[in-house]
Structure 1
Amino acid sequence: MLRRMARLRWRISHRPPLPIGSALFLTGDHRAWSSDPGGWTFDPAGELTSEHPHGTLLSVKIRARHPDGTVTEEGDAWGGRAAPHRHVVTGDANLDLHVAGWQDASEGRGRPARSAPPREETALDAPWGAQPLRLWWPAGHDGPLPLLILHDGQNAFDETPTFAGESWDAAGAAQALADAGHPVRIAALPVNHDRNRRYVPFPFELNGHDSGADEYADWIGGTLLPHLHARFGPVPAQDTALAGSSFGGLITAYAGLRDPGTYGTLGVFSPVVWPADHAFLRWMTGRGDPHARVWVDMGDHEGGTLTASRDLVTRTRDLSTQLAPQVREARFSVGAGHWHDEPAWRERLPAFLRWWREG
């Protein structure tokens, strides 16, 4: 019979040098990413033992508290943010942690790109200031093309501006689609520290109870789309798609249902709908667009435990089922082994693009 708790032995297998006297400790979502080392400090040999319930999904990182009280988090080899270490607790285990580097003021700017960059970067005026716009389209297709608007545009193409050194590789996926005879244009919209305000359409603690989602959706329809149509030629609504992940999935669903007839396809990746006590689920009741196709998906490792992840998949499937009678088509899929991160969305993007253009 399995014990309810599993013992994990963590060992730092490699780390770059730190100031003398720095204490290394483990943090993660199981600790709400606390910077308090209490109870989670590695011993002088770089080892730490912890216990966790079976089925826990762990995302962890190493941090260092220095003698002056400052804290540094592990990063990539170029001083940028690193992806967390991931582990599914299924029993006792010995786990090695390789620290490639420490975050510093360079923010990873020397990191080499593994994915193609956008073809063009510019900015448009917006109520909140200059809004960056990152554009890509396949060579030889300079006229009107089906248009995909992506939220979190800093994560769409090359890895240099991304949050944790991982991107959607949108250009690579779109190039493969073009090679199959379906060229498209991508307009990616980077976001900064205002992400919670821009993407969450209901007041809650993380946007200071002051949502800017309607302003953002108005700007896409009233400024971005006219700009792109004037420059490249008009694109009908049925060939215009809006997509995003997490809170970006939330604003995609909200904008599409708020403004029926504007987008022919909505890509709702891993939608986060809990803000304001799941206000979106109440808001969407009775709303729809009979001409829109909607892609909804969720990874099966996106909760804090395997059980919570299964419940999240079920709730997201229910959202898709609730939406289905109100739209032309609702497609739901599950990403097997997928966490809530860019690598998962990168893997699911090509299937979405094919469904959009070939379906």
Structure 2
Amino acid sequence: MLRRMARLRWRISHLPPLPTGSALFLTGDHRAWSSDPTGWTFDPAGELLSEHPEGTLLSVEVRARHPDGTVTEEGDAWGGRAAPHKHVVTGDAGIDLHVAGWQDASGGAARPPRSAPPREETALEAPWGEQPVRLWWPAGHDGPLPLLILHDGQNAFDEAPTFAGEGWDAAGAAQALADAGHPVRIAALPVNDDRSRRYVPFPFELNDHNSGADEYADWLRGTLLPHLHVRFGPVAAQDTALAGSSFGGLITAYAGLRDPGTYGTLGVFSPAVWPADHAFLHWLAGRSDPQARVWIDMGDHEQGTLAASRDLVTRTRDLSERLSPHVRETRFSIGAGHWHDEPAWRERLPAFLHWWRTGQG
């Protein structure tokens, strides 16, 4: 069934200064974030017309191509990365784009922090080199605490090291939990361009058909956990949680079910189980951890269209139901209006933390 095409009129409502002769153009996930302006250049009045099928979910940004051929990306007012503009195509519409600034070499260093940074940063030896570990715990709680290990640790706390200028504000969520009488310690593990190899346990194109997920899971169990137990005191498996989003959700489920009895709770946010023709779903057969509690969630705007997003929610719910008989407990939730991004995971993190420590929610 053909979907009706909607006509969108994009208007730049605010534009910081640019070199003379620069051309503005629109890019986004609908263009695979291409920096080729052909067909997507704004007119001199700052307007652009485009057509998209109704039900399309668009994430876009403005870029500028300069006379020398270089391209500058849209950023925040301090020269750092900015979250993309989002639009759900439901009919003809005019859309104003406020461009706050342009990315520059400073990386937004002068931006006022919106979230608390980790209390301590260290590094441990790993087969792939030094692995940074970003640590946070509430003041006045220096002994053993329930432990949350977070993947994509560059996105866990303050926004400075994040890819899109948005983070999880894990310290803020954990401080609220501590204020309610449930202090925890967080160990967040940043990852670099090797993310697809480290987090995806099956060979596919993005890890050059060379998965390093088992090596990573071995390191979590054999190096990270022993180090933290020596440093802060031993923590029982039932008080140890592993969590992550997207590919981080995939490695959370994989490492937890691969090594039953190691983690008492798994936080599987927006799991990306599609690599290698959904190989994870085949691997899952026969896996179990009778003592593990598993949180699985998904936003309802995580695919390119509303229809595809509804299908993804259904498939993720099916994953939760399939896993339920093989673990102690599953909890499935849907993030209403949530896209596949850090703001959505930041919003869902407090509910996960509350469920982890109280069993309620």
Same fold (TM > 0.5)? yes
**By how many angstroms is 1:128 displaced?**
1.1
Aligned to 1:57: 57
**In 2, are the aligned partners of 1:266 and 1:295 still within 8 Å (CA)?**
yes
Residue-by-residue CA offset, 1:310-347 (whole Å, 9 max, x unaligned): 00000100111111111111110000000011111111
Aligned partners of 2:209, 2:82: CA distance in 1, in Å? 30
Residue-by-residue CA offset, 1:154-211 (whole Å, 9 max, x unaligned): 1111111111121111111111111111111000001111111111111111111111
SS of the equivalent of 2:63 reads strand
**By how many angstroms is 1:110 displaced?**
2.2
SS of the equivalent of 2:177 reads helix
Residue range with higher mean Cα deviation, 346-355 or 18-27: 18-27
**In 2, are the aligned partners of 1:112 and 1:160 still within 8 Å (CA)?**
no
**In 2, are the aligned partners of 1:178 and 1:184 still within 8 Å (CA)?**
yes
Q: Write the mapping of 1:1-20 to structure 2, written as runs, cut at 5 A.
A: 4-20=4-20
Q: Write the mapping of 1:344-355 to structure 2, written as runs, cut at 5 A.
A: 344-355=344-355
**By how many angstroms is 1:294 displaced?**
0.3
Aligned to 1:218: 218
- The answer on 1:161 being equivalent to 2:161 is yes
Aligned partners of 1:107, 1:222: CA distance in 2, in Å? 36
Aligned partners of 1:6, 1:234: CA distance in 2, in Å? 58
Give the letter for the 1:210 counterpart. N
Aligned to 2:277: 277
Aligned partners of 1:79, 1:274: CA distance in 2, in Å? 35
**In 2, are the aligned partners of 1:199 and 1:248 still within 8 Å (CA)?**
yes
Residue range with higher mean Cα deviation, 101-110 or 20-29: 101-110
SS of the equivalent of 1:176 reads helix
Aligned partners of 2:96, 2:268: CA distance in 1, in Å? 35
Aligned partners of 2:202, 2:68: CA distance in 1, in Å? 41
RMSD: 1.1
Aligned partners of 1:62, 1:209: CA distance in 2, in Å? 34
Aligned to 1:110: 110
Aligned partners of 1:136, 1:240: CA distance in 2, in Å? 15
Give the letter for the 1:249 counterpart. G
Unaligned runs of 5+ in 1: none
Aligned partners of 1:11, 1:352: CA distance in 2, in Å? 39
Give the letter for the 2:321 counterpart. T
SS of the equivalent of 1:322 reads helix
**In 2, are the aligned partners of 1:229 and 1:235 still within 8 Å (CA)?**
yes
Aligned to 1:323: 323
Which contiguous aligned blocks of 4+ residues in structure 1 show a shift greater than 3 angstroms?
none
SS of the equivalent of 1:250 reads helix
**In 2, are the aligned partners of 1:250 and 1:273 still within 8 Å (CA)?**
yes
Aligned to 1:188: 188
SS of the equivalent of 1:357 reads helix
Aligned partners of 1:111, 1:206: CA distance in 2, in Å? 33
Q: Write the mapping of 1:202-281 to structure 2, written as runs, cut at 5 A.
A: 202-281=202-281
Give the letter for the 1:134 counterpart. R
Residue range with higher mean Cα deviation, 20-29 or 255-264: 20-29
SS of the equivalent of 2:303 reads coil
Aligned partners of 2:304, 2:70: CA distance in 1, in Å? 29
Aligned to 1:95: 95
Aligned sequence identity (%): 88
Residue-by-residue CA offset, 1:46-70 (whole Å, 9 max, x unaligned): 1001111111110001111111222
Aligned partners of 2:168, 2:161: CA distance in 1, in Å? 12
Aligned to 1:132: 132
Give the letter for the 1:206 counterpart. L
SS of the equivalent of 1:141 reads coil
TM-score by length of 1: 0.98
Residue range with higher mean Cα deviation, 345-354 or 2-11: 2-11
Aligned partners of 1:132, 1:49: CA distance in 2, in Å? 45
**By how many angstroms is 1:3 displaced?**
7.9
Aligned to 1:198: 198
TM-score by length of 2: 0.97
**By how many angstroms is 1:109 displaced?**
2.2
Aligned partners of 2:103, 2:217: CA distance in 1, in Å? 34
Aligned partners of 1:331, 1:11: CA distance in 2, in Å? 42
Aligned to 1:31: 31
Aligned partners of 2:278, 2:35: CA distance in 1, in Å? 29
**By how many angstroms is 1:221 displaced?**
0.5
**By how many angstroms is 1:103 displaced?**
1.3
Residue-by-residue CA offset, 1:280-306 (whole Å, 9 max, x unaligned): 111111111011000000000001011
